[in-house]
Amino acid sequence: MSKHAIGVDIGGTKIAVGVVDESGAIVAKTRRKTQPQDPASIDAAIADAVAELAQNYEFHAVGLAAAGFVSSDRSRVMFAPNIAWREYALADKVSALLKRPEITVVVENDANAAGWAEYKYGVARDVTNMVMLTIGTGLGAALVVDGNLVRGQYGFGAELGHFRVVPGGHACGCGHRGCWEQYASGSALVREARRAGVERPVRAAALLELAGGNAADIAGPHVTTAALGGDELGIELLAELGSWIGQGAASLAAILDPEMFVVGGGVIAAGDLMLEPARAAFGEHLPASGHRPFAKIVAADMANDAGIVGAAALAREATGE
């Protein structure tokens, strides 16, 4: 029985690949650049990176964390917003390139992988019911209920970013309007910051300075940097983002009643400037607030390693090791 498994975190332009031991520690890591419009190049990059790591480590499981809708048999990516995967047999294609039939390859939604890492080894390791929210370009999520990762009947479960919060609201890439990720994501933060840069340039002076004077170049890290430096607009924008997170979490609590919400993604660098408004909004909007326990809303603690670690752990479990 091998104590190691491979986790692959597949991004739009690069992959990060790591060897993960039974304690959730990454003992070796490598990276490759990829072309999002050329799925075959991604397959080849994965196989090449895995072959490199196989020179020094023994393993029988490879987990592929992919940003997209993953089939219930964990072999295909049915649809991905940023990579040209459409009903794509990712596991089979990578397996064929590896030419090692003893290695099990499984595909996992990237947010599910990150959530499982936090549940098994991270900040949620002592709870049995939790929600992971990854605040990035969109809003990814993972659900763990009674110690089990929830994938749904067809593998599409926990797509909480497309939970409708504003009927007729901002248009979403999923084809509908008013989805939660249009208000609780890095993209939403940037949209509002750039709007402020155009409509309120004096108040947005700090953001514009960080962006080189062009409102269209304002990015999420500029908002965080400005806010941490005391800029009022930056603080206000992060508070608005946190409020949307808290409001949505309160609605989910009415359904799931989790013990903990774990918030990850790049904007978590803002810390309590975002989390405290989220907690306040959660308490304000929670049904029966004041007469029930409050779920904790905490920062993820595995950062960029969560996808690798979670994908490896889930692949190892799929083999029974």
Decide which of 124 and 289 is more confident. Answer: 124
Same domain flag for 259 and 313? no
Separation of alpha carbons 197 and 187, rounded Å: 15
Would residue 121 count as lying in a domain? Answer: no
Amino acid at 40: A
Tokens of 203: 């108040």
**Is residue 116 within 8 Å of 124, Cβ to Cβ?**
no
Same domain flag for 172 and 75? no
Say yes or no to pLDDT of 69 above 70: yes
What is the CATH classification number for the domain harbouring 235?
Answer: 3.30.420.40
Say yes or no to pLDDT of 241 above 60: yes
The per-residue pLDDT of the chain, averaged, comes to 94
Same domain flag for 284 and 189? yes
Residue among 148, 149, 131 nearest 140 (CA): 131
Same domain flag for 271 and 213? yes
Same domain flag for 134 and 281? yes
What's the chain's Rg over C-alpha atoms?
20
Same domain flag for 61 and 178? no
**Is residue 306 within 8 Å of 55, Cβ to Cβ?**
no
Same domain flag for 242 and 293? yes
Treating both helix axes as pointing N-terminal to C-terminal, what angle do 220-228 and 272-285 enclose, rounded to 10 degrees?
Answer: 100
Would residue 136 count as lying in a domain? Answer: yes
Same domain flag for 27 and 80? yes
For 100-150, how does the pLDDT look when each residue is reduced to its tens digit (9 = 90+)? 999 999 999 999 999 999 999 999 999 999 999 999 888 999 999 999 999
Range of the domain at 93: 5-116+304-318
Say yes or no to pLDDT of 273 above 60: yes
Same domain flag for 208 and 294? yes
Same domain flag for 310 and 295? no
Say yes or no to pLDDT of 266 above 70: yes
Same domain flag for 76 and 169? no
Q: What is the pLDDT of residue 244?
A: 98
For 225, list phi and psi in degrees, rounded to 5.
-60, -45
Task: Let me know how long the chain is.
Answer: 321
Q: Facing residues of 130 across strands?
A: 144, 260
Amino acid at 307: G
Confidence label for 290 from pLDDT (cuts 50, 70 and 90): confident
Same domain flag for 146 and 243? yes
Would residue 288 count as lying in a domain? Answer: yes
Separation of alpha carbons 36 and 61, rounded Å: 24
Total structural domains within the chain: 2
